[in-house]
């Protein structure tokens, strides 16, 4: 099977998925490709069996999707960071130096829009392409990262806090082409993913 997803998803769920698959079929080989864009052409031309990530509204009506879990953005800093002591107010959060995750290299996103609506701005110090990089930099610097909560669930070296602003939650889903929908092996793989990503 070929799955396309983020490094963060693999770091969080990969070992459990491999263990779950090995229970029934130890000889299955899994090819994990790094997801660097939202292009769904690899599903259509059979280069990828399953795509995992946040689904855009324009993903394509011919593709099938199923949500794996809901998540939300939280703030993370290194243990001992000034934000790890005391309440994280909107102003304390905004006054820090921030990491921003953007695959496309943009320099602002939904957090900046939400802050602007409250009359506050933040300083983005560094822009990175993925959450794994943001987490690594937050761990070893004084930068503040905003990342999906599931990706930092077992990271004791980080201090996690609720963002002091309201943002919508989001769904992480799997996408596949309809030609694979009834395929028994593909259905089994989707079931394994549902199990390891469940609540």
Q: What are phi and psi of 64, to 5 degrees?
A: -100, 145
Q: In the chain, which residues have pLDDT < 50?
A: none
User: Which pLDDT does position 197 carry in this prediction?
Assistant: 93
How many CB atoms within 10 Å of residue 154? 7
Residue 69, beta-bridge partner list: 172
User: Which pLDDT does position 58 carry in this prediction?
Assistant: 61
User: Which pLDDT does position 140 carry in this prediction?
Assistant: 94
pTM of the complete model:
0.86
d(CA 141, CA 45): 42
User: Which pLDDT does position 57 carry in this prediction?
Assistant: 61
User: Which pLDDT does position 198 carry in this prediction?
Assistant: 84
d(CA 178, CA 136): 37
User: Which pLDDT does position 154 carry in this prediction?
Assistant: 75
Question: What pLDDT, in 10s, does the model give residues 168-193?
Answer: 999 999 999 999 999 999 999 999 99
Domains of the chain: 2-70+170-197 (3.40.190.10), 73-161 (3.40.190.10)
β-pairing verdict for 158-161 and 73-78: antiparallel
């Amino acid at each position: 099977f070929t799955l396309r997803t983020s490094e963060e998803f693999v770091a969080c769920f990969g070992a459990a998925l491999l263990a779950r698959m090995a229970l029934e079929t130890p000889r299955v080989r899994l090819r994990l490709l790094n997801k660097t864009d939202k292009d769904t052409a690899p599903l259509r031309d059979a280069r990828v069996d399953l795509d995992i990530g946040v689904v855009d509204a324009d993903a394509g009506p011919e593709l099938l999707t199923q949500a794996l879990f809901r998540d939300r953005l939280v703030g993370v800093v290194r243990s001992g960071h000034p934000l790890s002591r005391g309440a994280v107010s909107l102003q304390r959060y905004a006054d820090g130096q921030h990491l921003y995750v953007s695959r496309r290299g943009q320099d602002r996103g939904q957090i900046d829009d939400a802050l602007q609506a409250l009359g506050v701005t933040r300083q983005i110090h560094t822009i990175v392409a993925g959450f794994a990089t943001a987490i690594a930099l937050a761990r070893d610097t004084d930068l503040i990262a905003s990342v999906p909560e599931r990706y930092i669930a077992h990271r004791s070296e980080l201090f996690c806090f609720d963002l002091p602003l309201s943002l919508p939650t989001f769904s992480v889903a799997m996408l596949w082409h309809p030609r694979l929908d009834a395929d028994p092996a593909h259905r089994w793989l989707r079931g394994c993913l549902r199990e390891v990503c469940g609540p």
